Structure 1
Amino acid sequence: MPTIPSLSGLRGRNTRQPAVGRIPVPMSAYVVDCAVYVDGKRLPRRFTHADAIAEVRERGEGFVWIGLFEPDDEQIQGIAETFGLHELAVEDAVCAHQRPKLERYDETLFMVLKTVRYIEHESPTTANEIVETGEIMAFLGRDFVVTVRHGQHSGLHGLRGELEADPERLCSGPAAVLHAIADRIVDSYLAVTDAIEEDIDEIESMVFAPNSPIGAEHIYLMKREVLELRRSVTPLANPLRRLAEGYSPLVPDQVRSYFRDVDDHLTTVSERVGSFDELLTTLVDATLAKITLQQSTDMRKITSWAAIVAVPTMVVGVYGMNFDFMPELHWRFGYPLVMAMILVACLILYRTFRRNRWL
């Protein structure tokens, strides 16, 4: 019977095993939904991405809507090849962390939108995070729309249900889906700004309240969250305006007017976010002014008590020199007299500082 070599006998040899191949991930793991819409109505069959686009092009009408959730390079490759998606746009869709933008690749539009969610908390002074962001990328073609989501809060299942309940909107084609997504995201911006406004109002009331415990670091935290919201909102204005002005024939005329409405709502959000930033800057200045005033008050108190303590310190220092010939040194009432003089001097200084509101 052959013996099994010991570990010591394997020393010095190349014991590295061949790399184990990756287990293929099933489509259901990253494709949230794949549907074919004809005349605004969803076909009842279940489709793969290849079958869906083949069905649409065979009919010569309708479009495909595929929703993906955080795919990697290998998972999105098949869909990218089937729909002819540009490799640069596919790379952006996989890597995420993109600014809102709109790009055109041949006959395909690629749009990035930032999603925002308000994180509930007891108080803005105790929260570590107030705004959570995610992303939705959309590939828009003549007969398809592919959405790629990043972030748990950016689900489109409810929006898909609303659109399917209104076939008239879906009759406008893939551009109607892109508009619905943009409209939903901008509406969420409005909801988040409403919640942040309440937090800022609470901080403002605390800043101007006497003996308030709030510090500048709490306002800086809120300012950081508002800045993150601003980075999501402000860059989206240009893509929406371009879509409303006929940037691509993939967006029909009847949909452009809806993009103008979304752009108007986004302008309102941008103005509110800008006002938040200015107000927080003012609150930071007010808080720093309060801190400076408090420090000045503390320094006056310290200076006052130092002046009061200086009187007995000076007298004790003089009489601690141990000279034989000093005033009242051998007098029986010398000690009580000196103590009385020290007490009177300290009381005079104390009353003076109290009258000047240093103490």
Structure 2
Amino acid sequence: MSFFNKVKEPIFLKENGNTEEQLEMLKDLEPTLNPDGVNILKRDIKFLEYGIAGEKNIKFELKNSHMPMYVLHDIYLEDGELSAQIDYLVFTNKLCFIIECKNLYGNIDINNAGDFIRTTEFKGRKKKEGIYSPITQNQRHLDLMKKIRVESRGNILTKSISKRYFDEFNKPVVVLANPKTVLNARYAEKEVREKVIRADQLVKYMKEANKQSNSSATSDKDTLAWAQSYLDLHIDSLKDYTQKYEPYKLKTVKQDMDKKVSLTSEEKPAVHKALPVKETKIFKELKDFRLNKSREEEIRAYHIFSDKQLTALIDEMPKSREDLQLVDGFGEAKVKKYGDDIVSIIQRY
């Protein structure tokens, strides 16, 4: 059947994640935090940028693999209280690879107990520390995928068959994306060693695993349907990444002004002009509207309107749907869908 397949190169069914959006959210926070908060924020930004760079390294390897495959990047699955954020799902005509990307700094040793130990060096001094096993993390992703897949079957027989053969078709692998990281796994059990590779070994690893698999090769159509079944399960995770920084937030400019002077209502400047745009009430109200709509429609917040368009709304202050259509980024369709709500908010200011 595979003889008639036409797919020859990787096809990304989902290429982008929400980490870039998360990064922008964090960067916007810095002016609002005290020194302790800024230090924590900068550390988190550094780790997030590291992760983004690692995922781009893996994307490069996959795109240049010249293998027929379907790729899903940054998939979020939920089942009850269980959830999994999976870096990559890669579907070949025989196997699904569940890839956990780790762009770790320092060198990694895996001992005979399966523990991950990182060694870093600073000013000639070496430091060793244990880190949470990415194999365990990826296994939890696999377990949730298995649970969802088995429970989706219609009867006891098909559930039993799905459970029995699931591991045969799904292969978890941890990929170390930092090219400078040295991996030492010679003392690790074979089962552990086989689940951790460097990014430059990924394509070779997948080709060899596909070759060794005893499963029958599926058609392009069936492989696509397999990948699509997980894409259909994906949920856009609209998390508020800013909550952890609330204790470190500075008092707003408005609060400081209110303590120093008391102005009459005629003397008080308009809020959206007196404060930095992102601290004004109208900015926050429009942003809350955007977030609630995105959750309601299960889409990304920036699909409603971007931060740049949000700022443009405050600059232009359109008081009618006709005015709104003159704001960059608000075409007829968007105005028809959200115009009344947006104008209603703006008219209050």
TM-score bracket, normalised by the shorter chain, equals: under 0.3
| TM-score of the pair, normalised by structure 2 | 0.24
| TM-score of the pair, normalised by structure 1 | 0.23
Largest Rg, 1 or 2: 1
Q: RCO higher in 1 or 2 (8 Å CA, sep ≥ 6)?
A: 2
Higher strand share: 2
